[in-house]
Structure formats: C-alpha cells, structure tokens
Structure 1
Amino acid sequence: MNARILDTTLRDGEQTPGVSLTPDEKLRMALKLDELGVDVIEAGSAITSIGEREGIKKITSEGLSTEICSFARAVKVDVDAALECDVDSVHLVIPTSDLHIKYKLKKTRETVKDLAIESTQYAVDHGLLVELSAEDSTRSDIDYLTQVFKEGIDAGAKRICACDTVGMLTPEKAYEFYGHLSKLDAPLSVHCHNDFGLAVANSLSGLRAGASQAHVTVNGIGERAGNASLEELVVSLYSLYGVKTNIKIGMLYEISKMASRLTNVPLQPNKAIVGENAFAHESGIHADGVIKKAETYEPITPELVGHKRRFVMGKHIGSGLLKKRLEEMGLRVDDEKLNQIFTRVKALGDKGKCVTDVDLQAIAEDVLGIVAEKVVELEELTIVSGNKITPTASVRLNINNNEVLEAGIGIGPVDAAIVAVKKSIADFADIELEQYHVDAITGGTDALIDVIVKLKHEDQIVTARSTQPDIINASVEAYLSGINKILSDKKDIKKIKEGDL
C-alpha cells in the first residue's frame, strides 16, 4: 500500500494566526515541497487577494512535477480565480453539517448540495481536476454527506475529502467514519485538525480504513491547534505501519527548519521527529544505552530524517557519557579526576544550569590544573549612550602584550561594544556572532544577567557564557571568552603571539 500526501502548508498552514507569506516565500516553500516529493501542493486560495494569486502563479509557472492545487469555495468566482492561476486542480470545499448550513450559510441542505454539484461541473468543464471536500463532515448527517459525495462524483469529481474541521474524531471513530466513505467510487482523503492532539492518530486510522491520501502541514501548523503534521504522519507510516509514500524522509528536518523560519513559528523543543530534543539525551542510563546501541532509546535514527543526535550535560548525566565527551574534547582523565568533574557538573545541574561545552572545558581544565591561555584581554571599556545619541563604545584590549584601541557604534550599547571588540581582532580572525541570548537570573533592578553567545570561525562553533550584574560587561566577557577559546585552538596562534597583527 502507498499513501499519497497533499501538503496544505501554504493554505491551511498559512491560516496560522500571525502567519502571512509573501509570493516569493511561497515559491521557496513550494520548490522545497516539490523536492521533498509531496503528491499535491495546495498553494493557497486564489480568491483571497492579488498577492495570493501572484504567489500561486509564481508556483505554477515553475513547471513542477507536483500537482498544484488551489482551495476554492463552491462558487464560480473562486473557480475562475483558480483558473486564472493555471493550477492543475481545485480543493472544492462545501460545508455539510447542519451547524454550518444553518448558521454560517443560512441555506438549506438541498441548496448546498446543488452548489456543490454545479461548482464541480463548472470546474471540470474548464479542465480542472476536482477534489470535492466536505467541511465539518465529521459532524454531518452521514446519509446527507454520502449523497453529496455520490452526486459530486457523478458530476466529475475525481477525489473526495472529508474534513474533521474542529478535530472531533477519535482514532476509533475515524476508522469507522473513513471506512464507510472509502466504499464510494472515488479515492478518499483524510483532513484532520489537532484540537485534541489526535490529528495524526486520526489520519493514520483513516488511511488504515481505506483512505488513500492525507492532508498535512509541515510542523503541523494551522488554525487553532494546527493540522496533522507531515513529518509525524510520514515517519509513522514508514516506521510503524510499513506504508510507503513518495516523501524523501531524509529531508524532513531540513524542511521543518525552513518552514519555521519562513513562518516565524518557533518549533517546540520536544516536537516529535524534528524538535531539537527529539534525539537529545541527558539521562545517564539513556545516554549510556544510546552510546552502546542507539536502538535502546531511539525508535528511529536521527539520520533517517536528516537530524542529529546530541548529548546534553546536566544533573542527569552519567559518568560514561561525561568521559566520552571529555575524550571528544581531547581531555584524558583518570577515575579520580573524572569523579571530581562529574560532581561539579551535577552541582551546576542542581542549580538549574545547562552545562555548555565551554563550561565543561573550564571545569575540566580547573580540575586538571590547566590554565586557559588568554590571547585577548579587556583592559578598558567605555560606553556613551543616551537620548538622541548614537550608542558608541571604545575598548582597549591587550592582545598578547600588544595594546589595541578601537571604537564602534551600534543600535545599542551592547551592540556597540561587540562591534568595537570585533574591529579590534579583525586583522587576524573573522569571528561571527551566530547567537546571542540573555536571561535575568534573579529579580529586581540589580538582577544577575546571564549572557550566552555562540561564535563561529571557519568551521568551528563555540559557546561561551558570562554572568554579571551588568549586561554590557557580561556580553563583552562572554564574547571575549568565546574568542579566546577559538584562538587558543588555532594552529596559527603563533602569529598572534609574535605580534604579527
């Protein structure tokens, strides 16, 4: 059995509150979805706006191998807008529950059925493939719903879709509901919403019951609690049911990150399959098991979906993982030193701290009696900032006994200080600030500020941290700490030490 995938990230997914994609962003996402291997891309609702039609036209002009579809209500003006965009098909939607018919449409059942049939015939006569879809179908009278679908098929609809619009199904009800509709003379789609967290489970039940296509969105985005998640559904089909799709599973993490960036909808860390913690381990028992054989605590490998495994240092860490991490950092320790490092990492974890690689390096070097060599030291920092004054910073650095003075401006005092430091080291190291994160650890105006930075130099990325009452000093100290870590690891450090700046 093969299951087809209709991706509606660009239509139902874009209905996520606060999400609005430009035509170019829609095109970028569509190109990636085509590469991923979805069978149908619902590119939007052509009737919505001029910009929406522009986005759909950009997609259809690319000549993608994927079927390009537009959402349409059961009215001719919607179908005409879709035709203008040169789509392959329309997802023609008509409400079928008495709740929608009476209170939203204010029509009769017969009138609504006639609209569905007329619109289907009109779209088919104009060369469009029609997927006739019943909105709020799971709260509809089953006999009426069946009749609408039967007459729609007779009018030329090639596929039918039953939408669980407010996520009211359970897996048991989904199996019975979609099983009944799968006996009709057209391929059936499941379209499930996640109001009770059951969208993927209900979609799987619908496919098991005889449906052949599922409507999904990347990361499960969509109105309210979202839609069935593409990555969760596809990997569940593959790993748990042995059902194939045309999806390139190894691209799932990549497209998840892309969708999150374009929509500005952050991904929860514990999101199944693609979350940053999906393959992260801290517990000593779990980490030890994964190191020995990944299957002990991972149902699938991270590589399957293009993800990476990572181990987190914290109070749950085991000594085996700690020793392995130290060895990866080039540090060899005996049992006594390992136990000392282990105790200090646990103590930090008990205080609620996440132990970064930089923290671990510092702890290990302290325990081993290794003093990290500071190539760059801050001698003086001056900040000028105020109302209608461009924030300016001047720094005096000691770079291996050579004094360097530099100044910088920025959008704020922290930015100005970082700019000044970066200019000071620009002659011998191009170090980019990849991430900057700040937290107030304690309350009040004298709160301790915890600054974490991630720096990149060539192919090396390091994390550094500083905790101080002053955010500017903490930011500069964290930045310099990361710089020193990078420079001390470089083979060309001799040039710096000899004053060849």
Structure 2
Amino acid sequence: MKVRVFDTTLRDGEQTPGISLSPDQKLSIAKKLDDLGVDAIEAGFPVISKGEQNAIKMITQANLKSEICGLARTNKKDIDAAVDSGLNYIHTFIATSDIHLEYKLKMTREQALEKAIEAVEYGKSRGLQVEFSAEDATRTDREFLKKVFGEVAKAGADRIDIPDTVGYSTPEYISQITKDAVDATHLPISVHCHNDFGLAVANALAGIHAGAECAHVTINGIGERAGNASLEEFVMALQCLPYGEKYETNINSKLLYDASRFVSKIVGIQVQPNKAIVGENAFGHESGIHTHGVLSNPLTYEPISPELVGRKRWLQVGKHAGIHGMNAMLDEYGIKPTQEQAKEILEKVKSLGDQGKQVTDVELLSIASDILKEQGVKRIVQLTGFSVSTGIGTMPYAFVKLNIDGQELSATDYGVGPVDAALNAIQKVTGKIAEVRIKDYGLASISGGSTALCEVTIRVEDAQGNHVSAKSIGEDIVTTSVQAVIAGINRLMLKKMLKEKQIGN
C-alpha cells in the first residue's frame, strides 16, 4: 500500500515557539522537502501576513513535484487569500470539540457544521482541491464527528483529515475514529497527530493501519508545544517494521539525515542526541557488549542499517568500552596494538571514564601513542595564523591561516560571536580540501577566578558521515575552541587518507 506523506514543517512546524522563517528560507526548505520526495507540502497560512503570501507564491512558482497546500479557516477571506497566493489546494479547518466550540468559537455544533459545509462549497466553487480538518477531532463527540465528516463529504470535500490537536488520543482510539471517517465519507483519510504524550508517531501509524492513506508530519517532529509526528520516524517505521501488509512511500530515505540537519540549522533548533533515526547517538555505540556485537553483525544492536537513512555508524570509548570496539577505532587510524598494549590502553580509558570524563577520539589516540612509544599521530593540518575582532556595533569576524599537508590556505568569515566566526573561517578553509562540518560544540569551565580554564569538546564530521571527537583546555575560549577543532579535523582527515590508501592498495 502506498502511503501519502503530507509535510507541514513550513506551517505547523513554523508555529514552534521561537521559529519565524523568511520567504527565502521557506523556499529553500520546500526545495529540500521536494527532493526528499514528500507528496504534499503545506507551505503556510496565507492570510496571516504579506510575507507569508509572498513565500507561498515563491513556492508555488518553483515548479516543484510535490503538491503545494495552504491552511485556511472556514471563511471566504482565508480561502480567497489562498487563491491569491497561487494555490489550488487548501486545508480548511474548524474546531468541533465542545470545549473549543464553547470557549473559543462561541458557537453551537450546528453553527460549526454550517460553517464547515459553506467553506468546502466555497473552496470548490473557486476551483480548489479541499482537504477538511475537524480541529480537536479526538476530543469531539464521536457521533457528531461522524456527522461532520459525512456532511462535508456531501458538500464536495476531496479529503478528510483527523487532527489529534492536543495529542490526546491513543492508538486504539485513533484507529476507531479513522474507521468511522472511512465509513462516513468513503474519501481518502489523513491523520494529523501531535506529540503531547509522546504518541504522535504511534497514533499516525495506527491511523494508517486502520485505513487512513496519509499522515501529516514534520521534519524532526517540530511543531506546537511537544511537536508533531516526526516524518523520519513515521516513514522508517512504515518501511522497516513488520506489519504484515507492505507499506511504501515516495520518500528517498537516504536523504533523511541531510534534510533533518538542513531544517535544524535554518530553524535554529538542535535535534536531541537520542532522537530516533536522525539523532547523533542513533547509530553510536560505546558499551563493550554492544560494540562487539555490532562489529560481528550490525543487526545485533541496530534495527536498520545507518546507510539506509544517510547515516554512518560510529563508536565511542569510555568506562563501558570493550577491547573489540576500541581496537576497531584505533584500526581506522592505522594503529594496531598488541593484546597486552590494548589492555593497557583500555585500562586508562576506563580510568578516565570512572572520573566522569568523556574520552574523545583525540585522547584515545594520545593514550595509544604513549603506550606504543610512538611520537604521535601525523598532523596534516597546522594552524599558522589566527586573529579575531569583535566589539559593540560590529559583527565579529575571524582570520584563519592553515597549512594543510604543505599547502597554505587562509580565510576570513563572520559569525554571531568570535567563536562562531573562528569556526566558520576554519570550515571555509577546509571546504577547499575536504567537506568538514562541526556537528557538536560543548564548553565547560574547569576552574574559577579571572584566570579560569575552559574545556571545549567538539565533534566534527565529513561529507561521508565519519565522526571524530576532540577536546582542548585553555584560558581563552576562542583559541581553545580553534585548537579543539583543528585537532578533530586532523584526525578526520588522517582517517580519510588511510581509507583512501587502503582502497588504492
């Protein structure tokens, strides 16, 4: 069965507190969603502002493959604004629960039903495809909900949507009212689930299993309050979990991670590390039992291959680490300790972990170099020049000069602060040699007073998804940050060069 993916990142996702997107930002996200393969993009709520209308016009004129939809309340003004924005598809809604009718709309059930019918008829008279939503459906009287759906179907609605507006439903109940909607309308049914109780994806899946053909979702699950059903979790659950019936979507799953990072950067909301599918830890392993199993057969501790969603597996050392995982990490840098040396390295790693410290890749290599009596791992990248400038009324900027394997390169860039400017400049330089991105940045103070030491921990990633973590300690935050990043980039580029050499041989 083919399941339709209706993405509302640009409408419900933008209603996340603190998010406000410009027309250009909306267009860039719409193009990314189109590349991903979503069937429909809810581009916004046309009536709310001129900027919103301009954004929607830009998207409707971009010749995207996805259908473009706009939100409208059940009144002529909203529907006309959608038409004026170049839309031929609207998602119109009115609340149907008694609590909304009494306290928000000040309407009777009959008045709300009349408004719903009028909106659908008017939308059809304007030549629009109309999807009708009964807002707060899961808290609406069940018999009245069936009546509303039946009447708007008679009025000409093309699709029906069941919104779990405050995430109040259970999978069992969403299944029941989905079947009601199918029986009452014989139209394609969508489900729009919120995550207030952490059940958005489970409820969306239950709706599909009960006969719905479409789910409203957002990238990274962003949205009002606790958010919406996450596109990436919903799609991969349909694709990979054993349901009996085979479900398919038009989503290119290998682009999920890239789309997640793209949206996260634009909206300014970081994805939690332990989030399913796209969280940084989703395919990371530290426990010795887990790393041993994964190295033998990834399916022992991974339900899907990370490459399926555009990811790569990564290993971390710490107090839970085992010798197999640690040796696998060292092998990526061409380091092959004896059994006794490996035990000694692991003992020092666990000692650091017992102190509550995160052991980065760079620290692991330093410990290994000490025990193997080597002079250290080759440094491909050398920092040869660096300065920053900041002040009131001026945007901070940084100058960085690097020697990368004998080649002198430099760049200047700006940022929201001196650290951001320095890291942007480094990324501009390394982009000429290798696509290196800074994924995580952590800052902690490890001493007090005017000469306090700070500790910077970073994680960098290349275009192939390889990760390296590094740490640096110093008095100056900017300099310490630069040193940590350079250390991480060194190890990442060394890892890449060793892999290329192995392939060449």
- CA change 1:7–1:467 in 2 (3 A) is same
Report 1:401-480 matches (<5 A).
Answer: 435=438, 437=441, 439-442=443-446, 444-445=448-449, 447-452=452-457, 464-469=470-475, 471=477, 474-475=480-481, 478=484
User: Could you say which residue in structure 2 is the equivalent of 1:59?
Assistant: 59
Deviation digits for residues 384-404 of structure 1, max 9, x if unmatched?
999999999999x9xxxxxxx
* Alpha-carbon shift at residue 16 of structure 1 (Å): 0.4
Are 1:159 and 1:189, in contact at CA under 8 Å, matched by a contact in 2?
Answer: yes
Choose which of 328, 331, 339 in structure 2 pairs with 1:327.
331
Deviation at 1:209?
Answer: 1.1
RMSD of aligned Cα (Å) = 3.9
Q: How does 1:256-405 map to 2 (within 5 A)?
A: 256-372=260-376
Say whether 1:228 aligns with 2:229: yes
Contact 1:253 1:307 in 2 (8 A): yes
1:454 Cα deviation from its structure 2 partner: 6.3
Give the equivalent residue in structure 1 for 2:501: none
Kept in 1: contact 2:415–2:421 (CA 8 A): no
Per-residue displacement from partner, 1:339-361 (whole Å, max 9, x unpaired)?
A: 11111111111222222221111
Instruction: Tell me what 1:192 maps to.
Output: 193
The correspondence for 1:255, drawn from 234, 259, 270, is: 259
Tell me if structure 1 keeps the 8 A contact 2:437–2:462.
no
408-417 or 358-367, larger mean C-alpha shift: 408-417
1:417–1:476 CA contact under 8 A, matched in 2: no
Partner of 1:403: none
**Is contact 1:168-1:195 (8 Å) kept?**
yes
Tell me which amino acid in the other structure corresponds to 1:64.
Answer: L
Asked if 2 retains the 8 angstrom alpha-carbon contact of 1:440 and 1:449, the reply is yes
Distance 1:212 1:457 in 2: 38
Match of 1:176, as an amino acid?
Answer: Q
Whether the aligned pair in 2 keeps the contact of 1:75 and 1:119 (CA below 8 Å) is yes
Q: 1:323 to 1:483 in 2, by over 3 A?
A: closer
Q: Is the 8 A contact 2:95 2:134 kept in 1?
A: yes
Matched residue, 2:249: 245
Separation (CA, whole Å) in 2 of partners of 1:412 and 1:127: 47
SS of the counterpart of 2:70? strand
Please state if 1:109 is matched with 2:114: no
Distance 1:418-1:432 versus aligned 2 partners, 3 A rule: farther
Equivalent-residue separation in structure 2 for 1:201 and 1:225 (angstroms): 15
Change (3 A) 1:205 1:433: closer
Count of aligned pairs between the two proteins: 478
Aligned CA distance change for structure 1 residues 152 and 473 (closer, same or farther; 3 Å): closer
More off after superposition, 53-62 vs 353-362: 353-362
What amino acid is the match of 1:227? N
In structure 1, runs of 5+ residues without a counterpart are 398-407, 492-501
Cα deviation per residue 1:105-130 (whole Å; 9 max; x = unaligned)? Answer: 11222111111111111110110011
Are the counterparts in 1 of residues 397 and 414 from structure 2 also a CA contact under 8 Å?
Answer: yes
- The change in CA–CA distance for 1:433 and 1:327 in structure 2 (over 3 A counts) is closer
Q: 2: distance between equivalents of 1:15 and 1:209?
A: 29
2: CA distance, partners of 1:367 / 1:191: 57
Residues of 1 paired with 2:45 and 2:307: CA distance? 35
**TM-aligned CA deviation for residue 98 of structure 1:** 1.2
Question: In structure 1, how many angstroms separate the alpha carbons of the residues matched to 2:336 and 2:309?
Answer: 34
Query: Which residue of 1 is the match for residue 76 of structure 2?
Result: 76
Quickly say closer, same or farther: Cα 1:340–1:106, change in 2 above 3 A.
Answer: same
Distance 1:488 1:187, change over 3 A: closer
| AA aligned opposite 2:471 | R
**Structure 2: where are the runs of 5+ without partners?**
403-411, 498-505
Q: In structure 1, what is the Cα distance between the partners aligned to 2:399 and 2:159? A: 68
> What secondary structure, in the 3-state scheme, does the structure 2 residue paired with 1:6 have?
strand
Q: Distance in 2 between matches of 1:374 and 1:354?
A: 23
| Alpha-carbon shift at residue 458 of structure 1 (Å) | 11
- What is the letter of the counterpart of residue 250 of structure 2? N
Alignment match, 2:408: none
Write out per-residue CA displacement over residues 186-238 of structure 1, whole angstroms, 9 at most, x where no aligned residue: 11111111100001111111111111111111111100000111111111111
**What is the aligned-residue identity percentage?**
48
Shift in Å at residue 180 of structure 1? 1.7
The one-letter code matched in structure 2 to 1:350 is D
Paired with 1:210 and 1:457, the residues of 2 have a C-alpha distance of 42
- Aligned to 1:71, the other structure's residue is in SS state strand
Question: Do the aligned residues in 2 keep the contact of 1:11 with 1:42 (CA within 8 Å)?
Answer: yes
**Aligned AA for 1:304?**
L
1:394-425 Cα shifts (integer Å, max 9, x gaps): 99x9xxxxxxxxxx999999769979x99xxx
